[in-house]
Amino acid sequence: MATASKSTHKKAQQLGLAIPKGTLLAIGGKESKSQEERPDSQEENTKFISEQILKRFVKELYGKDPLVLVVPAASSEPEPVAKEYVKLFKELGIKRVEVVDIRTRDDAKDPEKIKQVDAAAGIMLTGGDQLRLTSILGGSPFLERLKERYLNEKLVVAGTSAGASAMSTNMIYRGEAQGGMLKDEMSSTAGLDLLKNVAIDTHFIDRGRIIRMAQAVAQNPGCIGIGLEEDTAILVKNGIEVEVVGSGLVTILDGMDISSTNIYEIESGDPFTIYDLKMHLLGDGKTYIIPAFNKEANAGAKSAA
């Protein structure tokens, strides 16, 4: 896998920015959960690997008998969602799996739930509604402890669908499913800020979300857009080192070299224009360095070693 350059780490130190010791796994949704199951969009993919993403999550866990927490806070029906993941992780060999039932902001202040974070080797944020997730967890003691451990320890934090979308600095939470070409057809807000200078969108190809992501990037070209297809994920180490895992594609939109856009001039409901927006399409095993500090830090799309 491509690694961040020494100059990038040095630049981070100069800016007083800490490089996380933890690992993120952002999943585009509908990840394979059984030997029989495969996403409909991947039927012709002869290199499909059953349960590949969840097995990678387990592989990244640190310790001999790791504790995995399932956090279904994004879901309006948390019990069946949590039950499914508990079953899955136990089938994958994890003996200790606990559910953290957080439904209100008071729940996110509960000292007992924070103690669960202290003991965890891995945390799974399930799908649902990303705005529900950020509204409940944002600024809470639970999230602050999670982020503290992710920054300073080898904690693995995974999120699928809404759980992945909420990981980024800029979070898309509403937009036309097959549109986004008109100004203000896309809405965004602050995410959980685990992944800096990035906006994540999920179910990306299946739901035709490239245009709404382009609008998000046009509004803030310093924010890299990452679109995750179903049964496809990015594994992120050191806060910027990305590896693709899964059966589909990851789409990356880089707006740092945009020469012009009229997004700030046009009226709401008008189509927007962007010149010189850069795009990468990455498959399983390919890598990318998020250009967090400067262009030289970006190694671009490379084959995994």
**Residues with catalytic function:** 161, 203, 230
- At residue 263, the 3 state secondary structure works out as coil
Amino acid type, 299: A
What is the per-residue DSSP string for 116-129?
HHHH-SEEEE-SS-
Q: 122 near 158, Cβ under 8 Å?
A: yes
Q: In 10 A of CB 295, how many CB atoms?
A: 9
What distance, in Å, lies between the first and last C-alpha atoms of the chain? 5
Amino acid type, 293: F
What is the per-residue DSSP string for 194-237?
SEEEEEEESSTTTTT-HHHHHHHHHH-TTSEEEEE-TTEEEEEE
